[in-house]
Structure 1
Amino acid sequence: MNAIITATELASELAGSATPVLLDVRWQLGGPSSRPDYEAAHLPGAVFVDLDTALAGTAGPAGRHPLPDVAVFGDAMRAAGVRADRPVVAYDGGLGWGAARAWWLLRWAGHPDVRVLDGGLSAWQAAGGEVTDTIPVPQPGDFRPAPGALPLLTAKDAAELARRGVLLDARAAARYRGDVEPIDRIGGHIPGAVSAPTTENVSPDGTTFRAAPELAERFASLGATADAEVGVYCGSGVSGAHQVLALAVAGVPAALYVGSWSEWSADPARPVARGPQPG
């Protein structure tokens, strides 16, 4: 099953009998809640999911967006109408990071059928899709998280994988090199990690994914192929989920280090590499 769905494909499914649950996961790093944007206009039937409260735990030593409490996550998904036997489609404002975080968490928690709307709300509207300001009241779902369906890395796992496999750093190249660090304690990267900015996974307009063959070629040039052991990290496990999604589109399974650089760099005892090379 493809991990992404086009606006045209989604419109067709919504007109059928087995309609997917729609999750609106609009989010911006450090910005205000996107709930007002959702209330103004969203896909009919879509339920708003707040990334910072439903898809992440409290920021701390484990990172800015650590794994949420499983019970809290399960409650949020059931309140949104998520069922174990019904497909789910997540979307956001177009960047794809918030939707990818929802996709990754649901897949990690055992949901078998989750996709991201490629291009998000903007692609939906560009294709002539309807939007509404009507807030739905979904029937409670029955989804019960069973964590472990997708691989997860700890800080120790990430360090070891960087030595024996391929660990991709999904942040901007300047942060990888350590030239700038606008958020975390220190700049640089995990020794052995390869720079692979998430922004290079999408089309020139920054919204839809590049074609699967292009993504496969890009990742292969970085050493990430279907027969390699591949892991991903970013700043706090959000854009990294988008990278894991892009890898899935390319046919390359990958593990996510959720704590990512926000957890790694918080401990002064952990080594830091700087410059353009893995180190």
Structure 2
Amino acid sequence: MTTASPVDAPGMPVVVDQVALARLYGEPLFALPTDLYIPPDALEVFLEAFEGPLDLLLYLIRKQNFNILDIPMAGVTRQYLAYVEEIRSRNLELAAEYLLMAAMLIEIKSRMLLPPRKQEGGAEPEDPRAELVRRLLEYEQMKLAAQRLSQMPQHGRDFLKAQVFIEQSLQPRFPAVQVRQLQQAWRDILQRAQLVQHHKITRAELSVREYMSRVLKTLQGRRFVAFEDLFEPGQGRSVLVVIFIALLELAKEALIEITQAEAFAPIYLRLAYTPV
């Protein structure tokens, strides 16, 4: 297969800015081969590589290492029009938006050829390229940001989340006992104690730690014990108070658990640990 140079092959596309139409065995191809049929739509792959007029214009400026703040409008416009002519000859609909930018470049170039208008207050006249430069800089920032976002790992494209299903047995969670419910249960104990109490004048030394040990022994080997079963009204109010304080101390030290199946249900106690 032979290839023709841009000068030797009449009717072939003119090389624009030395951009290869394709690569053949690693070598750039600047003109279509004379002995190979290529459908006209095949060039749309190259023409549609740009995402719009600003993308094409930014490519021309960066490729030639032009200063974007001081664009040489003549050279850039000439190259841009050459690209647009290639697009227009093959896809008129695709070239419509590019033609609008071409008109804008020609207008800017014509305004630069005219004498600058004097501004009020002696201010310097505005550069006709200022608006174009602003749009190019904003587009370049958005394009670079999009490239950085595209390089970040994405779920479903670069990695997948591992999912493991573990069957767990559901444990019943009893509602917490409210303070007022505990108070009401304590009042009921006191009321029953008053009905059976005897008038005795005695002095007894009661130990909270001793009754704490008694409560723990009572709860050992039993799953639940009713709150009322820990009190004996016949023991007197002082003993009942010490037993109640012992229960509070055991609950504070997380040695027992006070549970209730539902609101207003009986209150039960059980050990919060498994005895050795």
Q: Give the alignment's TM-score, normalised by structure 1.
A: 0.23
Higher helix share: 2
Higher strand share: 1
Please identify the structure whose Cα radius of gyration is greater.
Answer: 2
Higher relative contact order (CA 8 A, sep 6+): 1
